[in-house]
Amino acid sequence: MALTKYRKTETQMNIVTPFFQQCAQTPEATAFVEEDQTLTYADFKSRIEKIAASLQAKQAQNQCIAIALDRGINSASAIYGVLSAGAIYLPLDIKNPATRLNLIIQDAQPNYIIGQGEAPAWLDKTELWLDIGALLCTTAENITPTNVTPSALAAILYTSGSTGNPKGVALSHQALSNFSTWASQTFAINHQDRIANLAPFHFDLSIFDLFTSLANGASVYFLPSRLSLSPSRLTAWLAEKQISSWYTVPSLLSFIALKGALETTPLPHLKRILFAGEVFPTQHLIKLANLLPETKLYNLYGPTETNVCCYWPVDRNRLNVEHTIPIGLAACDAQLTIDADTGELQVNSLNNFSGYWLQGKLQALNSATYPTGDKVSLNQYREYDYHGRLDRMLKCSGYRVEPAEIEQCINQLEYIESSAVIGIKDSTSGQRPAAVVVLVAGASLAEAIKPLRPLLAPYMQPCKFVVVDNLPVLSNGKTDYQAIQDLFKT
């Protein structure tokens, strides 16, 4: 399959240009809603122009600009302003510890850091700080986005770093545009859509919320973070705001399916739910599909380095609690191959990242094909099935054991809500599986795991179980396997 369908033919582009074109058509349409604040397309354009003009005066084109702002209108304005100036945005998770934030800043070497108010105490390099309030006081109008080459960098997203040091994934304007165009067409996003955003801007799910939305005249509603801890209030918010599209992680959707009061909170406006980032336990997806029979569900797959390279429109008739769901067919016109020896999925796509941003510069790739580190196979429908991370593979008494397979067995048990499996050292067998589980209210661990023994081979049986109220998650909503590993060190 040739990589031509979504290729940009022009030699100059900018991922934010479609917004400016849309703004010319619908300036009074709602662009963003955050709590009680509503911003029209024209209002947002004005903010972008002021930030861009300030950065242009600092000759910031092609420079890395970090953004230390909470998810919301200010941070979206900063991102669009940075891109309009022809610079590269680097969103920081300001909830991270100071040591991690400074580690990222030290590695990324941004030219400026946009935040709010005075420079924070945690920042080592306060001379880099730019107050967004001051930027928005700039006089500017009718600023057009700086044209750049398609290969010019647009974003640097530091990976969640569940193990080891964080790495900056560098994405070009072409990569963001290719995904945005594919998503616009595949999901038929238009000016009537209301898109819920909960994905933090350092997480690649936010590319849909930030760019696909405004390129098509849709409105973005910032879902208050506090509601992620209260599933029934979250579903009430979706209903009240008449949300039509939501791209989020399976762990949160599982929480809503189990405790979100969907039986009594209809969501007639919710046309589609996209999910990605981790495996969706099939029994939870079945429950969600039954509770939202009119909502289209899509499983999107791809590491940050490729954004989305596979997707599966959920076929409710094929959902089976004993099987994980497929990751489906090639997305974004990607070329996919499977390594004959390891089963690893390899991706060649215009979505692919340009390389890793290390010590303030791009470490370019040696190959157009990215090895995902994920094991896959083709099923009878010629769709891709996911079999877990190759680097999560355990070696137990000489056997290769995939934790995802054990998780699937545990998750189908009647009294288990969710689980995660890691490997712990064992003097006899090298490694043995261990599991953390979330139990159904009122259940005991003994009765919950009693049916597990006949489902798994002896070497796959978890040697230890830890019961938790909720699986620990990273700031992007993915399961935090490092935190789970730490539970077995105490």
Q: What is the DSSP string of 23-74?
A: HHH-TTSEEEEETTEEEEHHHHHHHHHHHHHHHHHTT-TT-EEEE---TTHH
d(CA 377, CA 311): 15
* 273 neighbors 238 (Cβ within 8 angstroms): no
Mean pLDDT over residues 313-338, rounded? Answer: 96
- pLDDT class for 11, splitting at 50, 70, 90? confident
Look at residue 287 and tell me whether its pLDDT is greater than 60.
yes
Instruction: Looking at 366-487, list the stretches that DSSP marks H as alpha helix, in order from N- to C-terminal side.
Output: 403-411, 445-449, 481-487
Look at residue 161 and tell me whether its pLDDT is greater than 80.
no
Look at residue 215 and tell me whether its pLDDT is greater than 60.
yes
Look at residue 148 and tell me whether its pLDDT is greater than 90.
yes
> What is the model's pLDDT at position 425?
83
- Please state, rounded to an integer, the average pLDDT across all residues of the chain: 92
> What is the model's pLDDT at position 490?
66
Q: What is the pLDDT of residues 366-390, one digit of tens each?
A: 899 999 999 999 999 999 999 888 8
Look at residue 278 and tell me whether its pLDDT is greater than 50.
yes
d(CA 421, CA 343): 21
> What is the model's pLDDT at position 428?
57
Q: What is the pLDDT of residues 102-129, one digit of tens each?
A: 989 999 999 999 999 999 999 989 999 9
Query: What is the 8-class DSSP label of residue 204?
Result: T
> What is the model's pLDDT at position 322?
87
Look at residue 208 and tell me whether its pLDDT is greater than 50.
yes
Higher per-residue confidence, 425 vs 232: 232
In degrees rounded to 5, what are phi and psi of residue 236?
-65, -40
This prediction's pTM:
0.85
Domains of the chain in sequence order:
17-388 (3.40.50.12780), 393-487 (3.30.300.30)
Mean pLDDT over residues 327-352, rounded? Answer: 97
Between the CA atoms of 352, 358, 361 and 362, what dihedral angle is there, to the nearest 10 degrees?
-20
d(CA 176, CA 317): 33
Q: In 3D, which of 342, 287, 344, 294 has the Cα closest to residue 319?
A: 287
Number of neighbouring beta carbons within 10 Å of residue 358: 14
- pLDDT class for 5, splitting at 50, 70, 90? very low
84 Cβ contact list (under 8 Å, min separation 6): 14, 16, 48, 49, 51, 52, 143, 145, 146
